[in-house]
Structure 1
Amino acid sequence: MSALNNTHYQPPFFILKGIPGLESAHIWISIPFCILYVTAVIANSIIIFIIKTEASLHQPMYFLLSMLSGTDIALPTSVIPKMLGVLWFNSREIYFDACLIQMFFAHTFTIVESGILMLMALDRYIAVCNPLRYTSILTNPLFVKMALAVFLRSVLVITPIPFLVKRLPFCISDVILHTYCEHMSVAKLACADIRVNIVYGVIIALLVIVLDILIIALSYLLILKAVIRLSSKEARVKAFSTCTAHVCVIAVFYTPMLFTAVLQRVGHTLSPYVHIIVANLYLIIPPSVNPIVYGVSTRQIRERVRKVLCTERAFPLKDT
């Protein structure tokens, strides 16, 4: 009986394997991830600073963009620093509770980002289909309520996941075949039935991610219908241009997510490192690309950056 109890326990810590099969290339693999992470933090910080300091950008569209940038800093920060520790310094241990905390934040900010993209699609729908009523419909109090609802939804749907993992008994194996504490990668280590974890993960995917995608698709179908009705070609081009950046960001965020989901279902013949690399790219590519897309596509942000650069050239810092 004592031996049985010793084989079912919660380990004090897990061992993050990193990228199985590519251990000899960990240093080289970490370089692009590090560059992308630094780019994400710096570029998104610039976006937030510009929106905060430029009074003309204090509008719902740009508040949503600042929320997206904040999420794009928080999401990779919950994963990448520890991942780099694994790849650079072989610092593989992560305490059990720390693993659950990382799991919570990684999945929560993923759901938050999906919700923000959904709100941005609704914002573009109102701006294109009801431009004259835009400010009266999307008021600041309504915007705050929607943003708070997106955040609370994410917290509420993800909060059960750490508890579902914590209730599981674990066997001798404590090696996570991943670079971070992804829900199912940890749950699969348990020596118990994990069908509840699997079903709950599917429910989240269907009721949150798929619902957001459907709302985004419906918004853009209505936008397309409204734009086609415009008589002027210039008006149609202008209407489409206001949505270009958002469409690019949607593609960058959801494409790797769907690709990861497909790999998990049908990619069993592929090497494990393919799944892990794709999962990590899914967490770092959107945060590093989004601010560049909006910086290039949004005239107000481009002009603000140009203004800052011109000011520095006109009044260069002098040595004291």
Structure 2
Amino acid sequence: MFQELRDPNSSKFEVSEFVLLGFPGIHSWQHWLSLPLALLYFLALSANTLILIIINREAALHQPMYYFLGILAVVDMGLATTIMPKILAIFWFNAKAISLPECFAQMYAIHCFVIMESGIFVCMAVDRYVAICRPLRYPSIITESFVVKSTVLFTLRNFLFPISVPVLAAQRHYCSRNQINHCLCSNLGVTSLSCDDRRINSINQLFLAWVVMGSDLGLIIVSYALILKSVLKLNSPEAASKDFSTCTSHLILILFFYTVIIVISITHSAGMKVPLIPVLLNVLHNVIPPALNPMVYALKNKELRQGLYKLFSMAYTSRKSLVDMFFGFGTHRVYCDP
């Protein structure tokens, strides 16, 4: 696990791999958590795949709002896949070791997908603002070109800004400890093992959390404040109720997503004495939103529910036709003469 430094006169050692111990304080029975986590991961993959299939099949859903929802589904699957296979390998096969390049790559991927999800929420908030507050201009503003340009812009931002996280972490000197009390390679969890000054890593983490994602949250708050102001001016309670219902699912997801990030940041900054809580929140934040997002949207959106019903009806009909064909049921019956 350790590798000598190039200087033969040095008595220090350099870490060549990290060991992910899992959830702190419950190592003896943490493998029991693998079942609910595996179910959440399976739900995230299957539900988001269904969302993509429905959006692709239904011509009525070929609209900017659903394009953003499709992009969110892809990001959610990427976020969950970044951490869950390794976590399940730790619980099921005791595969706790992870090389430094793999650890830094996972660290970068987590930050990319989390910031990308934040950016998609901004796009969806802008979409709802224009639809409710500027309905006549919606077809000319929220176009397919807008979807492409905003997606490219946020993708570039989300791939460039997190580069500093693994680069700064790789510059630290890991000379003694290599055991991480975590299920994944978090930035602060890894750099806490370094033997040199890591203040720049903490400052960079705060910058990403409060400046990059904080600006996203600020734009979302402004958008919904303007939506609320516009809705309250409506004289029709039915119209106001309809406008609120189109935003409810979005607000539920945003509330959970950003609340957990804020709690994790505060607990890390405060140096919480119960490390299990921030670690558990960190893991759940990367797997619950991917599992929750498609379910919330499917339950709250009539068009998605109809598309889901059509898909399952078609699957049931196809299955029944296959059963009839193989077992001779249906119209192809054989009658014998008496």
Q: Does the TM-score normalized on the shorter chain lie above 0.5?
A: yes
Cα shift at 1:12: 2.1
Contact 2:54 2:311 in 1 (8 A): no
Matched, 1:308 2:321: no
Q: Distance in 1 between matches of 2:237 and 2:98?
A: 57
Secondary structure at 1:318 match in 2: helix
Return the match for 2:294 from 291, 295, 298: 291
Map 1:1-320 → 2, pairs under 5 A: 2=7, 5-7=10-12, 9=14, 11-266=15-270, 268-269=272-273, 271-315=274-318, 316-319=320-323, 320=326
Q: Distance in 2 between matches of 1:104 and 1:195?
A: 19
Structure with the greater alpha carbon radius of gyration: 2
Q: Distance in 2 between matches of 1:263 and 1:194?
A: 18
Cα shift at 1:3: 6.9
CA RMSD for the aligned pairs?
Answer: 1.5
Secondary structure at 2:195 match in 1: coil
Contact 2:176 2:195 in 1 (8 A): no
Cα shift at 1:166: 1.1
Q: Distance in 1 between matches of 2:244 and 2:229?
A: 12
Secondary structure at 1:15 match in 2: strand
| Bigger relative contact order (CA 8 A; separation at least 6) | 1
Give 4+ residue runs of structure 1 displaced > 6 Å after superposition.
none
Task: Pick closer, same or farther for the CA change 1:8–1:197 going to 2, 3 Å.
Answer: farther
Identity of aligned residues (%): 36
Report the AA paired with residue 57 of structure 1: L
Gapped regions of structure 1 (runs ≥ 5): none
Contact 1:26 1:88 in 2 (8 A): no
Contact 1:112 1:150 in 2 (8 A): yes
Q: Distance in 1 between matches of 2:134 and 2:277?
A: 45
Gapped regions of structure 2 (runs ≥ 5): 327-338
Secondary structure at 1:19 match in 2: coil
Question: How many residues end up aligned between the 2 structures?
Answer: 318
Contact 1:252 1:285 in 2 (8 A): no
Report the AA paired with residue 36 of structure 1: L
Q: Distance in 1 between matches of 2:223 and 2:13?
A: 50
Q: Distance in 1 between matches of 2:176 and 2:268?
A: 25
